[in-house]
Amino acid sequence: MNFADKVVLVTGASRGIGRAIARQFADHKARVAVHYHQNQAAAKDTRAPMPGGPHVLFQADVASAEAAQHLIHSVVKDMGRIDIVVNNAGIFEPHPIVEVSFENWQDAWKRTLATNLLGPAHVMFWAAQQMKRQGGGRIINISSRGAFRGEPEAPAYGASKAGLNALSQSLAKALAPYNIYVCVVAPGFVETDMAASMLDGPAGEAIRNESPLRRVARPEEVARTVLFLASEGSEFLTGCIVDVNGASYLRT
Ligand code: NAP
């Protein structure tokens, strides 16, 4: 895979899966827009070992429509173009229906949908305008196994990812005439900050044993799938949702 001359925006690249995606794109010659929300120091750590470049840091709260618009405009202004967008930034906030107040319930739904669903929608709106002007592009969205399997502790999370799947497939159809291809990667549990408290807690072993490989995914394994979907020759996969869950949940 060779992404020479490509500019790639990875949202939520300060940590976890986004960091691995940003670094792998740089390893394959892309120039990377390393996006972060609150952790500028961590975003700098992401960038530090990346070869090539220049790779540029961008701050934005993707839950804000204005910030999402500004993010795309800033990437184009500072890096000249935008060829690939990876909507990876996301949050997971437990809000079990029989335990939380109605106020907490509403807050969790608003924050989760704003970050995990509306954020990618707004980023894609502006990225698509730019990619259309450039003659094409690639969008890869990071969803979750929870979209298919249910998220009893965090139903807004499951709904946000199911919505992201449907949004991605709608845009795969809408944008194909402009050579813009849209794919989804749906990981199961991954070794990151987001999953750390569950993986380190009493349920950790049971979670690892959900896969016959008896472990969860490494961020680099998710990143590898993203790069494949963004590479030349994978155009006809547009609209696909690729599971990266170690056979922990198989759907037909
Ligand atoms: P993580 O380690 O918690 O990192 C989350 C990233 O998202 C950080 O870079 C964070 O930025 C950014 N972010 C959070 N809220 C944001 C906002 N409002 N605006 C902009 N950026 C924001 O998460 P991860 O595990 O790498 O997850 C990455 C993606 O994979 C998410 O979409 C997640 O739902 C999905 N996923 C994860 C797992 C898993 O088990 N880890 C499983 C399935 C799917 P700052 O650090 O700068 O604040």
C-alpha distances in Å from residue 12, one per residue of 26, 37, 87, 115, 151: 16, 7, 8, 11, 22
Q: Is the dihedral of CA 185, 56, 116, 119 positive or negative?
A: negative
pLDDT recorded at residue 132: 98
Q: Which domain holds residue 213?
A: 7-244
Q: Is the shortest distance between the CB of 176 and ligand 1 below 6 Å?
A: no
Distance 9 CA to ligand 1 centre (A): 15
pLDDT recorded at residue 129: 98
Provide the CATH number for the domain around residue 168: 3.40.50.720
Residue 138: strand, helix, or coil: strand
Tell which atom from ligand 1 comes closest to the C-alpha of 193. Answer: 2
**Percent of the chain whose pLDDT exceeds 90:** 100
Q: Is the shortest distance between the CB of 88 and ligand 1 below 6 Å?
A: yes
Q: Rounded mean pLDDT of 204-216?
A: 97
Q: Is the shortest distance between the CB of 87 and ligand 1 below 6 Å?
A: no
Active site residues: 157
Instruction: Quote the number of domains for the chain.
Output: 1
Radius of gyration in angstroms for the set of CA atoms belonging to the chain, rounded to a whole number: 17
Q: Rounded mean pLDDT of 39-48?
A: 98
What's the token pair of residue 80?
A: 């000249």
Q: Which of 9, 10, 14, 17 to mutate to test the pocket of ligand 1 (most atoms within 8 A of CB)?
A: 17
Q: Rounded mean pLDDT of 39-50?
A: 98
Name the residue with the closest Cα to ligand 1, atom 34: 90
Q: Is residue 147 part of a domain?
A: yes
Phi, psi (deg, nearest 5) at residue 182: -125, 125
pLDDT recorded at residue 7: 98
> Are 2 and 28 in contact, with CB atoms under 8 Å apart?
yes
Q: Is residue 249 part of a domain?
A: no
pLDDT recorded at residue 64: 98
Q: Is residue 185 part of a domain?
A: yes
pLDDT level of residue 168 (50, 70, 90 thresholds): very high
Q: Could you report the per-residue pLDDT of 88-145, keeping only the tens digit for each?
A: 999 999 999 999 999 999 999 999 999 999 999 999 999 999 999 999 999 999 999 9
Q: Is the shortest distance between the CB of 192 and ligand 1 below 6 Å?
A: yes
pLDDT recorded at residue 27: 98
Q: Is residue 96 part of a domain?
A: yes
For 195-218, give the DSSP string. Answer: HHHHHHSTTHHHHHTTSTTSS-B-
Distance 200 CA to ligand 1 centre (A): 18
Name the residue with the closest Cα to ligand 1, atom 44: 144
What's the token pair of residue 92?
A: 């997971």
Q: Is residue 252 part of a domain?
A: no
